[in-house]
Chain A
Amino acid sequence: MSRAEDHSTTLDRMTADHNVNSDSSTPPALIVSHFVQEPAPGTPQAPPPEPSEIRRFLSQRGSGAFADNSFAGVILLCACSIFAIVIFIAAILIKSSHLSIAQFGLKFFSTSDWDPVSGQFGALPFIFGTLATSFLALLIAVPLALGVAVFISELCPRPLRAPISFLTELLAAIPSVVYGLWAVFVLVPLMRDQLGPFLVKYFGWTHLFEGANFGVGLLTAGIILAIMILPIISSITRDIMLSVPNHQREAVLALGATRWEMIRTGVLRNARIGIVGAVILGLGRALGETMAVTMVIGNHAEIAHSLFAPGNTLASVIANEFSEATGDLYLSSLIEIGLALFLVTIIVNAIARLLVWAVTRGAPARVS
């Protein structure tokens, strides 16, 4: 018996069974499925003798191993270039600062004298200034940026979403020297005449706002940094929040959540890793930001407990003094400041990443 005949017999039997079923007087309890009724098979068509154009084309294509491997090689090269650049920069910094490394050793990072005249160089005030201004900037910018992102992604009426996003991103495109100018002409007087006295009056008890207030100093630098890192943090956070699937929002709402509870549980909680990533990116920018900070920080190498006190950051001291550095030791010390900035950035990033890891251990961030 050939296959075609066999098939037709089965089909006949199935059709026959089916007919018996539907002819029976009482209707079946549940009619839900039918056998698909095919037309009775006629003469079976012969398979096409020639392989089709598509099959022939595909069979000639080969294994693709060469293309695959060479692609992998090129990509690997790109990835390695990152390592090469980092190592190259570190090597040059270390090589060019060997004079000061030999002279001061590790004490360079722990002493606070910066006296080019007597040849004493210590980076501690600048490390302090960099960390203090960056920390201040995060303190101001993160809540603000989260607020902006939550508003754009969750609360904002749709037509307003694009303009507001565009404005936030526009902030990121302004060159830092323009921020510096704006700070010098607007923020510094504001700080000196209004904000400063206000802070002294209401927050004087914290002892953070003491001494003469000239309008320039750590706090002013922190504020201008906050404004500069706000767009990067808020736009990345917004993108991450928009990528949280809608079913997570619905799941929380269906449990009887208010809008804020939905945002907290359904959106922020799922987006937290990405938000920390955005904050780290913002922090990276704050640590290395040079121009605007140099213009408003007061450029004075000391560690003060008051936020009004003028200070200096690793980046701003290089910008300020590089052109006037006389003597090999002075120059070499400034380059070691660059090395210090490099290390501070790496260490702060490492700590931030460790923090993320510690917080999320055991609870994956994957949003299905």
Chain B
Amino acid sequence: MGVGIQVQDLNAWYGSTHTLQDINLHIPANHATALIGPSGCGKSTFVRCLNRMHETNPIARATGVVKMGELDIYKDASPVEIRRRIGMVFQRPNPFPTMSIYDNVASGLKLNGFRNRRIIDETVERSLKQAALWEEVKDDLKKKSGASLSGGQQQRMCIARALAVDPEVLLMDEPASALDPVSTSKIEDLIFQLKSQYTIVIVTHNMQQAARVAENTGFFLNGKMVEFDSTHKIFTNPRDKRTEDYITGRFG
């Protein structure tokens, strides 16, 4: 089961650029939460702060409190522990090119020293099924390289890879923006099914996508969160004029 995330006064910088300003937000457990906003508004930085990937950049830093359940992820745990519990799917599919499909999906387990072959086999199959890729690759799991798949398949494999370590939260940073409409709809179906078991945060440029998959939506602009509400409310009756302008396509 997933776990909720509470964000208090989160600020983030890249060098001297203040990319996130005073973000306060509650992401409920076992729901999909969408983050929308124009390019460069800080939504990617925000999700990268949730699993402490932001700080892997040497010039980046962040302050504030991010709680996963009762755990303060910046105080009570190391980044490694946090990232084992919060999976991430990136904008561009990033399979490990030297590994087979099987090894790609199992990489998170093997990396962390998990050795039980039977459970690894089961997990690879379960994750690939969850990611709706099993039928397409089950015959050459160990024969084909992860990089030999098509872009959409690679992205679903990356989702399977993230799911294989059984995370409580799944962060998706524009997971479908590099994909064609067919692959995109497969990934949306996937999110729709996964959100009963995981807490999902999805960054997207595509507003229909947010409307289709997410219960809640946050609108980011220039490093600030302008509005956060149920998706229905954001898209039908936004409180803020800027949100309305954005979703009606008047800017951005």
Distance between Cα atoms of A31 and B208 in the complex (Å): 9
The reply to whether B83 and A253 contact each other, CB–CB distance below 8 Å, is yes
Q: CA A360 – CA B84 in complex, angstroms?
A: 30
A157 nearest CB neighbor, chain B only: B58
Which of B111, B145, B147, B249 lies in contact with A32, CB distance below 8 A? B249
- B116 beta carbon closer than 8 Å to chain A: no
**B236 adjacent to A27 (CB under 8 Å):** yes
User: How far is it, in angstroms, between the C-alpha of A258 and the C-alpha of B90 when the chains are bound?
Assistant: 19
Query: Is residue B242 contacting chain A, with contact meaning CB distance below 8 A?
Result: no
The distance from the CB of B166 to the nearest CB of chain A, in whole angstroms, is 11
B211 within 8 A of A: yes
Residue from B51, B92, B112, B147 in contact with A254 in the complex, judged by beta carbons closer than 8 Å:
B51
The answer to whether A367 and B87 touch across the interface, beta carbons within 8 angstroms, is no
Comparing A101-109, A264-272, A344-352, the segment that makes contact with chain B is: A264-272
- With contacts A30-B235, A32-B249, A33-B249 taken as known, whether A257 is within 8 angstroms of B96 at the C-beta atoms is no
Q: Give per-residue flags for A229-271: 1 if the beta carbon is below 8 A from chain B beta carbons, else 0.
A: 0000000000000000001111111111110010001100110
Contact size class for A?
A: 20 to 34
- B131 interface residue, CB < 8 Å from A? no
Q: List chain B residues, Cβ under 8 A from A254.
A: 51, 53, 83, 87-88, 90, 162
Whether the pair B108, A255 counts as a contact (CB closer than 8 A) is: yes
Chain A residues contacting B99 (CB-CB under 8 Å) are 269, 363
Q: Which residues, 29 to 60 on B, are CB-close (under 8 Å) to A?
A: 51, 53, 56, 58
Q: How far is the CB of A186 from chain B (nearest CB, A)?
A: 38
Assess whether B107 is in contact with A255, with CB atoms less than 8 Å apart. Answer: yes
CB distance from B45 to the nearest CB of A (A): 14
CB distance from B79 to the nearest CB of A (A): 8
Please tell me if the beta carbons of A270 and B208 are within 8 angstroms of each other in the complex.
no
Contact in complex: B58, A265 (CB < 8 Å): no
**Assembly CA distance A368 to B145 (angstroms):** 12
| Chain B residues closer than 8 Å to A365, beta-carbon distance | 97-98
B98 lies within 8 A of A363 (CB): yes
| A362-B143, A363-B99 known; A253 vs B207 contact (CB < 8 Å) | no
Are A368 and B147 interface neighbours, CB within 8 A? yes
User: Does A364 count as interface, using CB distance less than 8 angstroms?
Assistant: yes
Closest partner residue, chain B, to A27 (CB atom): B236
Q: In the complex, are the beta carbons of B236 and A29 less than 8 A apart?
A: yes
Given contacts A247-B90, A254-B51, contact A363 B162 (CB under 8 A): no
A265–B147 contact, CB under 8 A? no
Chain A residues, Cβ within 8 Å of B100: 363
Whether the Cβ atoms of A30 and B211 lie closer than 8 Å is yes
Q: Within 8 Å of chain A (Cβ to Cβ): is B237? A: yes
Contact between chains at A256 and B81 (CB < 8 Å): yes
Inter-chain contacts of A253 with B (CB < 8 A)? 53, 56, 83
Distance of A254 Cα from B161 Cα, bound (Å): 10
What number of B residues sit within 8 Å (CB to CB) of A?
41
Given the interface pairs A32-B207, A251-B90, the reply to whether A367 lies near B97 with Cβ below 8 Å is yes
**Chain B residue contacts of A255, Cβ below 8 A:** 83-84, 87, 107-108, 111-112, 161-162, 165
In the assembled complex, the Cα of A360 lies from the Cα of B100 at a distance in Å of: 12
**Does B80 sit within 8 A of A, measured CB to CB?**
yes
Instruction: Output the least CB separation between A154 and chain B (Å).
Output: 11
Asked if A34 is an interface residue, CB under 8 A from chain B, the answer is: yes
Nearest opposing residue in chain B for A251, CB measure: B94
| CB within 8 Å of B: which A20-47 residues | 27, 29-34
Which A residues are in CB contact (< 8 Å) with B193?
Answer: none
Q: Is the CB of B211 within 8 A of A269?
A: no
- A13 in the interface (beta carbon within 8 A): no
A3 interfacial contact with B, CB 8 Å: no
Say which residue of B56, B80, B148 sits within 8 Å of A258 (CB atoms): B80
- Tell me if A272 and B98 are in contact (CB < 8 A): yes
The yes or no answer to A366 lying at the interface (CB within 8 A) is yes
- The answer to whether A257 and B97 have CB atoms under 8 Å apart is no
A201 within 8 A of B: no
Residues B83 and A256 in contact, CB atoms below 8 Å apart:
yes
List of A residues within 8 angstroms of B90 by Cβ: 247, 250-251, 254
- Write the chain B residue with the least CB distance to A269: B98
Q: CA A95 – CA B15 in complex, angstroms? A: 67
Q: Which residues of B contact A364 (CB under 8 A)?
A: 97-98, 145, 147-148
- A265→B96 contact, CB < 8 A: yes
A56 at the interface (CB under 8 A from B): no
Chain A residues positioned under 8 Å from B65 (CB to CB):
none
The residue on B at minimum CB distance from A22 is: B248
Tell me, yes or no, whether A61 is within 8 Å of chain B by CB: no
A158 contacts the other chain (Cβ, under 8 Å)?
yes
Q: For B111, what are the chain A residues with a Cβ–Cβ distance below 8 Å?
A: 252, 255-257, 261, 265
Q: Which residues of A contact B25 (CB under 8 A)?
A: none
Are B80 and A256 closer than 8 Å at their CB atoms? yes
With beta carbons under 8 angstroms apart, the residue of A31, A248, A252 that contacts B247 is: A31
A266 to B111, CA, bound (A): 11
Q: Please, which residues of chain A bring their CB within 8 A of the CB of B98?
A: 269-270, 272, 360, 363-365
Residue ID in chain A nearest B113 by CB atoms = A261
A-B contact pairs, 6 of them (CB 8 A): A29-B235, A32-B248, A33-B249, A251-B95, A255-B107, A365-B98
The 6 A-B pairs of least Cβ separation, nearest first, read A256-B84, A255-B108, A254-B88, A247-B94, A251-B94, A256-B83
